[in-house]
Amino acid sequence: MDQPKNKRYGMVIDLDKCTGCGACMVACMAENNIPFRDDDTDKLLSVSWMHVYRLSNGKPFPQAEECFLPRPCQHCEGEHGHSPCVSVCPATATDYDMHTGIVSQIYTRCFGCRYCMAACPYHVRQFNWWDPVWPEGMERALNPDVSVRMRGVVEKCSFCYSRYQTALNRAYVEGRRELAEEEYQTACAQACPAGAIVFGDLNNPRHRVHRIVQPDLAHGGRPRNPKAFRLLERLGTHPKVYYLTGRDWVRRAGDNEVQKS
């Protein structure tokens, strides 16, 4: 069986367009059956695959500026072809797929040691401290394509992998092996009212992500677009989520260099 060309699915988020409305978070919760509790204010205990952070330049009123930073799983490629979480997982519950570039998380395989959470520099991974409980009747609205996680396992953004699976199903029935750009899109990218999130294959020069980022694939996908940057670039994790901004302080914050004054 011959395999279609390898993909490198990635995302570009324009921070100058993001208004911080949180539609991406809501769409993600609904799409991926993410559990919530009555009181979810303690963000160390809550689960959200897509999380919008608020950054501030820390200056007084006339110069005060804010920026909202949505953060899905960065799906790091790393220098050895996979992410830090994959290196440490003792259960092979998380894996890097060479065909798609997506870091998977298999909940039935995970035994909850949380080594991956410690390894992840982006706080992308979250632990289920409780079994999920949905308000009466809401369990009927769960997405049947995404399995529900139990207490005691780690979960994270999968770039809506179930959408990739169902899109491939359709392609196979229609006698195709390749997906068009719009056939596989994440829930957050489709929900964003500002059009700040763009998703696609970084290997494909026709896809919007490739044209925006112009990744230098020989050097870990470093962006050639001067407005584009990645979080904690200096760690060498080579994430596949890129951010765009024209503001210098935001860019510095993306590499943890804020608060030096």
Partner 1 sequence: MEEPKSSAPSSRSEPGQGGQGDGAGGAIILFFILGLAASLLVGWVAFPALLYSEKRQPVDFNHALHNEIVDHGCASCHFFRADGGFSGAPKLAQCIECHREANSDDPEEIRFVEEYVKPGREVPWLVYARQPDCVFFSHAAHVRLGGIDCAVCHGPMGESTSLRPYQENRITGYSRDIWGWNIAGIKRNSWDRMKMDDCAECHAQARVPGGSVQTQKDGCFVCHK
The binding site for partner 1 (CB under 8 A) comprises 1, 3, 81-82, 86, 92-93, 95-100, 102, 104, 106-109, 145-148, 158, 161-162, 165-175, 177
Rounded to the nearest whole angstrom, what is the least distance from the CB of residue 81 to partner 1 in the complex? 6
Residue number with CB closer to partner 1 (102 or 197): 102
Rounded to the nearest whole angstrom, what is the least distance from the CB of residue 100 to partner 1 in the complex? 7
Rounded to the nearest whole angstrom, what is the least distance from the CB of residue 212 to partner 1 in the complex? 26
- Whose CA is closest to 11, among 98, 82, 74, 69? 74
Residue number with CB closer to partner 1 (82 or 210): 82
Residue number with CB closer to partner 1 (109 or 211): 109
Rounded to the nearest whole angstrom, what is the least distance from the CB of residue 73 to partner 1 in the complex? 13
Rounded to the nearest whole angstrom, what is the least distance from the CB of residue 183 to partner 1 in the complex? 10
Residue number with CB closer to partner 1 (144 or 226): 144
- Whose CA is closest to 192, among 19, 62, 35? 19
Rounded to the nearest whole angstrom, what is the least distance from the CB of residue 82 to partner 1 in the complex? 5
Measured distance CA(152)–CA(131) in Å, rounded: 8
Task: Give, rounded to a whole angstrom, the gap between the first and last alpha carbons of the chain.
Answer: 59
- Whose CA is closest to 95, among 4, 103, 6, 250? 103
Considering Cα of 222, then 225, then 231, then 234, what sign does the dihedral take? positive
Residue number with CB closer to partner 1 (16 or 145): 145
Measured distance CA(154)–CA(124) in Å, rounded: 10
Which tokens in the block code for residue 167? 């899109």
Residue number with CB closer to partner 1 (26 or 106): 106
Which tokens in the block code for residue 257? 């260099």
Please check whether residue 241 is in contact with residue 72, taking contact to mean a CB–CB distance below 8 angstroms: yes
Measured distance CA(180)–CA(189) in Å, rounded: 16
Q: State the CB neighbour count (10 A cutoff) for residue 242.
A: 26
Please check whether residue 236 is in contact with residue 220, taking contact to mean a CB–CB distance below 8 angstroms: yes
Residue number with CB closer to partner 1 (21 or 171): 171
Rounded to the nearest whole angstrom, what is the least distance from the CB of residue 191 to partner 1 in the complex? 21
